[in-house]
């Protein structure tokens, strides 16, 4: 069984080097790519004593199994998934209330990576994904995250409904984002509570047991004739509303 993989793209390689969560064994750079970005990657690699090899773009495509690599790749240890309990414990120990993202069977690695990128920038403390019938942290997902996956903990679990019950037992409210939700997400109060936002798979939404395991379901208002938002857009809107309300509450507290 392989113990390393090839990640690709400027940001994923650069952030993998900077984050240091997994060992980087070598960096591959296209012979035709020698601008400032390459100099920066080479510098980061040199600081960590990681060898840099200049090869053809075709060589990188062959090793990465992808063509959209921006002329940069790296051989690194497999993605280091986090354990659920330490993730929840670390979130609870932060000065702000816990903020988690739970994904119910996202199958497109690009959507997974995009959601992780947004979650990291929104200040989410960790992401939870199923082990089966869902995209994992493949190089494609890492690239779509633009390197955010090297910093944000991602836990891979076997039973999502049981995991949601565990979150609730630890004082975390669980909000499912669903078109059938009782209230608009903008009508729910996320101030002063620990929250886990749950998103369903592309096209199918939340599974029945997952919906039943949520504390409440919230919808995102839509206009127009198409049926739904892209899941990564829905996730951005939901996470953004949590951040907006928390920021509003923080500003109010500071002025009182």
* Average of per-residue pLDDT across 189-211: 92
Q: What is the pLDDT of residue 35?
A: 77
φ and ψ at residue 230, rounded to 5 degrees: -60, 145
Instruction: Select from 3.90.79.10, 3.40.120.10, 3.30.1330.30, 3.40.50.10490 the CATH code of 4-77.
Output: 3.30.1330.30
Q: What are phi and psi of 130, to 5 degrees?
A: -75, 155
Positions of CATH 3.40.1280.10 in the chain = 84-255
Written as one string, the DSSP assignment of 189-244 is --TTS-EEEEEEBTTTBS-HHHHHHSSEEEE----SSS----HHHHHHHHHHHHHH
CATH 3.30.1330.30: which residues of the chain?
Answer: 4-77
Split at pLDDT 50, 70, 90, the class of 54 is very high
pLDDT digits (tens, 9 = 90+) for 66-101: 898 988 999 999 999 999 999 999 999 999 999 999
Q: Which CATH architecture has domain 84-255?
A: 3-Layer(aba) Sandwich (3.40)
Residue indicated by tokens 């309300």: 245
C-alpha–C-alpha distance, residues 218 and 238, integer Å: 9
* pTM, two decimal places: 0.92
């Amino acid at each position: 069984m392989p113990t390393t993989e090839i990640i690709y793209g400027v940001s994923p390689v650069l952030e993998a080097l900077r984050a240091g969560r997994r060992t980087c064994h070598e960096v591959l750079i296209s012979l035709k790519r020698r601008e400032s970005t390459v100099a920066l990657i080479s510098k980061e690699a040199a600081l960590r004593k990681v060898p840099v090899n200049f090869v053809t773009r075709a060589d990188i495509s062959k090793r990465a199994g992808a063509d959209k690599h921006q002329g940069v790749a790296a051989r690194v240890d497999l993605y280091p998934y986090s354990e659920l309990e330490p993730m929840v414990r670390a979130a609870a120990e932060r000065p702000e209330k816990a903020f988690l993202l739970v994904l119910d069977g996202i199958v497109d690695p690009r959507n997974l990576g995009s959601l992780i990128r947004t979650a990291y920038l929104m200040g989410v403390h960790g992401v939870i994904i199923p082990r089966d019938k869902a995209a994992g942290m493949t190089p494609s997902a890492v690239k779509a995250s633009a390197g955010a996956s090297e910093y944000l903990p991602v836990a891979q679990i076997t039973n999502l409904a049981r995991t949601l019950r565990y979150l609730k037992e630890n004082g975390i409210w669980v909000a499912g984002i669903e078109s059938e939700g009782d209230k608009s997400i903008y009508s729910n109060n996320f101030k002063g509570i620990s929250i886990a936002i749950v998103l369903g798979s592309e096209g199918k939404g939340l599974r029945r047991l997952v919906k039943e395991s949520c504390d409440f379901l919230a919808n995102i208002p839509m206009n127009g004739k198409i049926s739904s938002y892209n899941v990564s857009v829905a996730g951005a809107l939901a996470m953004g509303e949590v951040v907006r309300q928390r920021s509003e509450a923080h500003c109010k507290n500071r002025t009182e």
